[in-house]
Amino acid sequence: MRMIFASIIINIRSSYFSLVCFLCILILMKLTIVNKGLVPYGEALAYQKELLTKRQNEEINDTLILLEHPPVITKGKRTAEGDILLPEKTLKKQGIGIFEIDRGGEATYHGPGQIVGYLIFNLYEKQRQLKQFVANVEEVFIRLLKDEYAITADRDLKHRGVWVGDNKITAIGISIHHAVTMHGFAFNVNTNLDHFKWIIPCGITDRGVTSIKKLTGKTQDMEKLKELTGKYLVQVFGYDEVEVLHEK
């Protein structure tokens, strides 16, 4: 009888342990980081849409895509007619792509030396709200700049993104499709800031743009900055497990 009773207790404890482990697996926050190289904007946009559908169907984890683009201008939903300062024909003759996309915000520039991060995240899975989500993205770069470079950066609730004084160093633009985000951020590392003269960045006429290279006077290691971006994003968002994939 004692042996039977002991066996029952062992089975109960075993079942309880299995249930706890199962629940732990369920609540773990997992992130996949895809580190790509220089990718044409249209190709990257198609890739985002592919992952968006997979995330909506819960086929993949939250996914951060890190890459660079050849020179390109993207026009958000609030882009005004005069926000692109050069004729589009002139830009296209120079090989500068122009894309109208569904993110928030106005016109922005992407190019080599700028880390672009596309956030394919389930916005509401961990009780996230959009304003806090954007604030978290801002916090990634505020912490990174302070801890790694002793650069004081801040946010502006009227003009979202990350600012060093009156100069923007990280632009943010998000769209949401059936609870999953796409688009993301553009972090100026070694960016050619003269290219921002082609547009009114984010529709703001009385402020400028900056980069880590401009602030430090040194060209930065892009791969190191990608690693740091992933590291601080994991910290801010509280992910438990991270998978890093390197793709061309």
Where do we find the tokens 């059936």? 178
Q: Are strands 167-177 and 162-164 parallel, antiparallel or unpaired?
A: antiparallel
Q: Of 142, 193, 202, 233, which one is the catalytic site residue?
A: 202
Q: In sequence order, what are the residues at sequence separation of 6 or more whose Cβ sits closer than 8 angstroms to the Cβ of residue 245?
A: 32, 33, 34, 35
Residue 195 Cα distances to 148, 201, 214, angstroms: 26, 10, 14
Multiple choice CATH, 29-246, 3.30.930.10, 3.40.50.450, 3.30.420.40, 3.40.50.300? 3.30.930.10
Q: What is the pTM of this model?
A: 0.86
Q: In sequence order, what are the residues at sequence separation of 6 or more whose Cβ sits closer than 8 angstroms to the Cβ of residue 221?
A: none
Nearest of 47, 43, 46 to residue 72 by alpha carbon: 43
Give residue-wise pLDDT tens across range 143-165.
Answer: 999 999 999 999 998 899 999 99
Q: Sheet containing 107-110: give its strands across.
A: 97-100, 72-75, 107-110
Yes or no: say if 119 and 128 are a contact pair by the CB < 8 Å rule: no
| Annotation marks residue 202 as catalytic | yes
Give residue-wise pLDDT tens across range 195-240.
Answer: 999 988 877 777 899 999 999 999 999 999 999 999 999 999 999 9
Hey, where are the domains in the chain? 29-246
